[in-house]
Homo-oligomer: A and B are copies of this chain.
């Protein structure tokens, strides 16, 4: 499914999505890789007493999924990640299927700089939204020009 969309082939509104079932296994893995072992992600008894009423996934796990759509699908391989904003709108719980979508919002062809709107949903509920800024790969060869910049 991985691909590259060159900046020359992009248009505003173009989008790509990925879906992922978030289970306790993904949450455990994210705890390991981040070092974040906050009990709201792991301890059902503790989490039951919080405003969430149960265990939730790390917010940044949804952020990681957005970065995967950018790095794998749109723009895909060759993308240089410049920036990301994220607003955490609601919890992701074990068993939720998160769908992350990135949509091209602005293209600066000369600078190869692309802004993409990012949203992650569970069903109809927005759980994360934000905006990504990337240096997109170019048919002219991103690496050489970026290196010279």
Contacts and interface: CB of A to CB of B under 8 A. Distances in A.
Interface of A: 2, 18, 20, 26, 29-30, 32-40, 49-51, 58-61, 63-65, 67-68, 71-72, 76-88, 142-143, 146-147
Contacts of A26: 33
The 7 closest A-B pairs by CB, nearest first: A36-B68, A34-B64, A38-B71, A60-B67, A59-B81, A35-B68, A29-B33
B67 A58 contact: yes
Contacts of A29: 29, 32-33
Contacts of A77: 38-40
Given A33-B64, A35-B68, 13 more contacts: A20-B35, A34-B64, A36-B64, A36-B67, A39-B77, A40-B71, A60-B63, A60-B64, A63-B63, A63-B84, A81-B88, A83-B86, A83-B87
A39 B4 CA distance: 12
A78 to B, nearest CB: 8
16 contacts: A33-B61, A35-B65, A36-B67, A38-B76, A50-B78, A50-B143, A51-B142, A51-B146, A51-B147, A58-B67, A59-B81, A60-B64, A60-B67, A60-B84, A64-B64, A83-B87
A137 to B, nearest CB: 10
